[in-house]
């Protein structure tokens, strides 16, 4: 059986459903295909459930610090993991159902459940059914990478997806991977009450960040009792009585970390190897990411790739921005480009790290004169009042244009405050705009003018 549509969308992650809504509203007939859970990674195994779990972990952490805030507590907070998981399931499940219901309620939209595979550049098969369209949008996302570590076949391990089913407290969680996903789970489980060890192959955590940011995050995690092993060059897994051993070092003692559970958090790979892309002639790069141009069109006219699978971003907001670019350009004759966007994201540890624009390493390569300032959160009144003084605010600007080049805000509210600087960058406004604005007291944001008053030549 063959059916024709104006557009076929593969995947219901962060771009597909919004695209379906826009196309349907424009009177186009749309087929949208999902092989697993509606809403994709963010809704089911990524942002929403992890940030919900982080909220539980934060509450437990603050409760343990009760005496510091002046309320009586015996300090013995125990976390009921079944209830923590039930809260997470409820919030994540609500989003999952809402994505499905809104798609099923769309006019002109046919929802198909199953695995989609290209048959040609204009045909996609789902089971026995073949769908045709002149426009096809790939939004298939990615999944946790499982590298061929020694012993991986013999030892059970968790990923961000299977972590979602955990309703008990691992006695000792060993996390392989010291980047964003690993650090968020690490702090969360330490606060739930597990022993946590984070093992990182490189010489520092979150290696894409500036060294002072990596160092400050390491200190924050270690202060909570998380063990961190860096420079773990020879990672291997083995079973041990009642647990697991992760080999970390070829030549240094102790050579292995003993734990009860392993979480692999060593990166993501795109879901592109089982899509039949070769039958459509769609090109991928060496790592399997679909190659796209600045408007997210693949090398095949009529086929676009959005979200994590195109390698142009690995966040919900980049996937959603991909949708906005494609929809505006196709429906409104827009002129939007991927290269127009400014890098921004957060690490949702506590305190969080909000990032926008260049890191110090980028500023060094910038080739123009820059100014920079760094200011400790311990001097920010709001942070002191909240008892959350870890971290710092760091901003770099172009010395001549006075425009913001980049910022890292590691501190309470950093994930929100960063947007002031981000929006200033989009407006191409000089930093003096923030200095002349009146801000609300007491907030972290009100300190941005103070930080900017300390700008000095970048070294």
Catalytic residue among 61, 172, 439, 441: 441
Indicate the helix (H) or strand (E) that contains 131: strand 129-138
Q: Choose between 34 and 360: whose C-beta lies nearer to ligand FAD.
A: 34
Contacts (CB under 6 A) with ligand FAD, residues 180-199: 181
Separation between Cα atoms, residue 304 and residue 11, nearest integer Å: 13
Separation between Cα atoms, residue 202 and residue 250, nearest integer Å: 14
| Nearest distance in Å: CB 430, ligand FAD | 29
Q: Choose between 181 and 404: whose C-beta lies nearer to ligand FAD.
A: 181
Tell me, what DSSP letter sits at residue 133? E
Closest of 404, 400, 430, 432 to residue 419, by C-alpha = 404
- Which phi and psi angles does 31 have, rounded to 5°? -115, 130
Q: Which of the ranges 43-51, 243-251, 290-298, 432-440 carries the binding residues for ligand FAD, by CB under 6 A?
A: 43-51
Q: Which of the ranges 279-287, 316-324, 355-363, 418-426 carries the binding residues for ligand FAD, by CB under 6 A?
A: 316-324
Query: Is there a catalytic annotation at residue 441?
Result: yes
| Nearest distance in Å: CB 32, ligand FAD | 9
**If binding is defined by CB under 6 A, does position 386 make contact with ligand FAD?**
no
| Nearest distance in Å: CB 63, ligand FAD | 24
Contacts (CB under 6 A) with ligand FAD, residues 1-20: 10-15
How many residues of this chain interact with ligand FAD, rule: CB under 6 A?
35
Closest of 201, 33, 36 to residue 130, by C-alpha = 33
Contact track, ligand FAD, 260-299, x by CB under 6 A: -----------x---x------------------------
Respond yes or no on whether the N-terminal peptide bond of residue 254 is cis (omega within 30° of 0).
yes
Q: Choose between 194 and 434: whose C-beta lies nearer to ligand FAD.
A: 194
Respond yes or no on whether the N-terminal peptide bond of residue 351 is cis (omega within 30° of 0).
yes
Task: Tell which one of 9, 30, 31, 46 touches ligand FAD (CB under 6 A).
Answer: 46
C-alpha R_g of the chain = 24
Task: Tell which one of 6, 21, 29, 36 touches ligand FAD (CB under 6 A).
Answer: 36
**If binding is defined by CB under 6 A, does position 316 make contact with ligand FAD?**
yes
Spatial neighbors of 448 by CB under 8 A, at least 6 apart, are 393, 395, 417, 420, 421, 434, 439
Q: Which of the ranges 39-47, 72-80, 401-409, 426-434 carries the binding residues for ligand FAD, by CB under 6 A?
A: 39-47
Helices vs. strands in the chain: H and E counts, helices first: 14, 22
Encoding tokens for residue 28? 């186009």
Task: Tell which one of 19, 24, 31, 40 touches ligand FAD (CB under 6 A).
Answer: 40
Encoding tokens for residue 406? 């980049």
Helix 16-25 to helix 316-331 angle, to the nearest 10 degrees? 20
Encoding tokens for residue 230? 């860096």
Contacts (CB under 6 A) with ligand FAD, residues 97-156: 115-116, 139-142
Neighbours of 379 (CB within 10 A): 14
Separation between Cα atoms, residue 407 and residue 353, nearest integer Å: 10
Task: Tell which one of 7, 24, 28, 50 touches ligand FAD (CB under 6 A).
Answer: 50
Q: Choose between 281 and 387: whose C-beta lies nearer to ligand FAD.
A: 281
| Nearest distance in Å: CB 247, ligand FAD | 25
Spatial neighbors of 454 by CB under 8 A, at least 6 apart, are 373, 374, 375
Q: Choose between 197 and 321: whose C-beta lies nearer to ligand FAD.
A: 321
**If binding is defined by CB under 6 A, does position 317 make contact with ligand FAD?**
yes
| Nearest distance in Å: CB 373, ligand FAD | 27
Q: Is 43 within 8 Å of 163 (Cβ atoms)? A: no
| Nearest distance in Å: CB 315, ligand FAD | 3
**If binding is defined by CB under 6 A, does position 96 make contact with ligand FAD?**
no
Task: Tell which one of 200, 209, 295, 308 touches ligand FAD (CB under 6 A).
Answer: 308
**If binding is defined by CB under 6 A, does position 341 make contact with ligand FAD?**
no
Pairing label, strands 243-247, 256-259: antiparallel
Encoding tokens for residue 136? 């096809």
Strand partners, 199: 176, 229
Q: Is 318 within 8 Å of 343 (Cβ atoms)? A: no
Q: Choose between 17 and 259: whose C-beta lies nearer to ligand FAD.
A: 17
Catalytic residues: 441
- Which residues form the interface with ligand FAD (CB under 6 A)? 10-15, 33-36, 40-42, 46-47, 50-51, 115-116, 139-142, 160, 181, 271, 275, 307-308, 314-317, 319, 348
């Amino acid at each position: 059986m063959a059916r024709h549509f104006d557009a076929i969308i593969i995947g219901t992650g962060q771009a597909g459903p919004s695209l379906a809504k826009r196309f349907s509203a424009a009177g186009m007939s749309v087929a949208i295909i999902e092989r697993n859970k509606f809403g994709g990674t963010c809704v089911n195994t990524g942002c929403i459930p992890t940030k919900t779990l982080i909220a539980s972990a934060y509450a437990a952490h603050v409760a343990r610090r009760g005496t510091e805030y002046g309320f009586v507590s015996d300090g013995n907070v125990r976390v009921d993991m079944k209830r923590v998981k039930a809260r997470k399931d409820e919030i994540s499940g609500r989003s999952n159902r809402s994505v499905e219901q809104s798609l099923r309620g769309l006019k002109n939209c046919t929802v198909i459940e199953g695995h989609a595979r290209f048959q040609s550049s204009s045909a996609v098969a789902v089971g026995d059914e073949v769908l045709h369209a002149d426009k096809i949008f790939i939004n298939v996302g990615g999944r946790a990478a499982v590298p061929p570590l020694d012993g991986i076949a013999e030892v059970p391990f968790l990923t961000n997806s299977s972590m979602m089913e955990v309703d008990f407290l691992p006695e000792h969680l060993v996390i392989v991977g010291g980047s964003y996903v690993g650090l968020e789970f690490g702090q969360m489980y330490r606060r739930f009450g597990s022993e946590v060890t984070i093992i990182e192959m490189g010489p520092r955590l979150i290696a894409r960040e500036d060294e002072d940011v990596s160092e400050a995050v390491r200190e924050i995690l270690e202060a909570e009792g998380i063990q961190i092993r860096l420079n773990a060059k020879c990672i291997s897994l083995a079973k041990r009585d009642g647990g697991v051993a992760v080999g970390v070092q070829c030549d240094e003692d102790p050579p292995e970390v003993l734990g009860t559970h392993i979480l692999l958090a060593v990166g993501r790979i795109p879901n592109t190897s089982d899509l039949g892309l070769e039958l459509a002639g769609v090109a991928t790069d060496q790592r399997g990411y679909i190659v796209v141009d600045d408007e997210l069109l693949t090398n095949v006219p009529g086929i676009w790739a959005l979200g994590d699978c195109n390698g142009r971003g690995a966040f919900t907001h980049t996937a959603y921005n991909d949708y906005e670019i494609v929809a505006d350009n196709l429906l409104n004759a827009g002129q939007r480009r991927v290269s127009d966007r400014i890098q921004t994201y957060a690490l949702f540890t506590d305190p969080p790290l909000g990032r926008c624009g260049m890191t110090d390493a980028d500023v060094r390569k910038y080739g123009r004169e820059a100014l920079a300032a760094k200011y400790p959160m311990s001097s920010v009144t709001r942070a002191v009042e909240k008892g959350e003084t870890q971290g710092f605010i760091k901003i770099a600007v172009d010395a001549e244009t006075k425009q913001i080049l980049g910022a890292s805000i590691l501190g309470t509210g950093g994930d929100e405050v960063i947007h002031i600087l981000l929006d200033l960058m989009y407006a191409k406004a000089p930093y003096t705009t923030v200095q002349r604005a009146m801000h609300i007291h007491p907030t972290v944001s009100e300190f941005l003018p103070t930080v900017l008053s300390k700008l000095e030549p970048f070294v």
